Amino acid sequence: MKLGSLKPVDDRKIIERVLKGDTDAFNLLLRRWEKPIYNFIVRMIGDRDEAMDLCQDAFMKAYRELDTLKDLDRFSSWLYRIAHNTCFSKLRKDHGKIFVELQPETRASRMPIESRLAVETALQHLPEDQREVVVLKVFQSLKFEEIAAIQDAPVSTVKSRLYMAFEKLRAILG
């Protein structure tokens, strides 16, 4: 399911049900957002098992803090922000370790294995903020404004990070 096809109003209705005490309704949000959030995390972290754990952590935090969401129509940006914070906490903890994911679950999986491996390896060599912009823009198809909200940065900074990341990826991949 592509992110652009999800309507915030649908999320809003589900969130309103959860906030009124319908805890089972959160499973609808989980089913809707689990794959995009997992794919984002696996590209940030590079380790499938760890990404699964971090994805679960992010959703647990979202569930616990759902009542702090001020704008219900911005649920996706808020959820990605939680996933972002979860990833960066893990990356700080594992500073210096490099993981290479061989079979990410994204449209990039249609590439030959050698190309996919090269891209995944190259992504791991980018600074974390640049890697995140590439993953969110290219693989998750988010808008610059959404990425800016997730990274808590101006849109111009996000665009700059993407440009610099592409330049570094070109240099790494030849």
DSSP track, 82-128: HHHHHHHHHHHHTTT-----SS-SSGGGGS-HHHHHHHHHHHHTS-H
Distance CA 90, CA 70 (A): 26
Q: Which domains does the chain have, with CATH numbers?
A: 3-173 (1.10.1740.10)
Joined together, the tokens standing for residue 25 give 């309704």
Please check whether residue 35 is in contact with residue 105, taking contact to mean a CB–CB distance below 8 angstroms.
Answer: yes
Distance CA 108, CA 94 (A): 26
Residue 91 has pLDDT above 80, yes or no: no
Residue 112 has pLDDT above 80, yes or no: no
Count the alpha carbons within 13 Å of 74 in the hemisphere toward its beta carbon.
Answer: 15
Residue 19 has pLDDT above 60, yes or no: yes
Please check whether residue 146 is in contact with residue 3, taking contact to mean a CB–CB distance below 8 angstroms.
Answer: no
CA 74 to chain centre: 15
Distance CA 82, CA 69 (A): 11
Per-residue pLDDT of 22-81, as tens digits, reads: 988 999 999 999 999 999 998 888 888 889 999 999 999 999 999 999 998 899 999 999
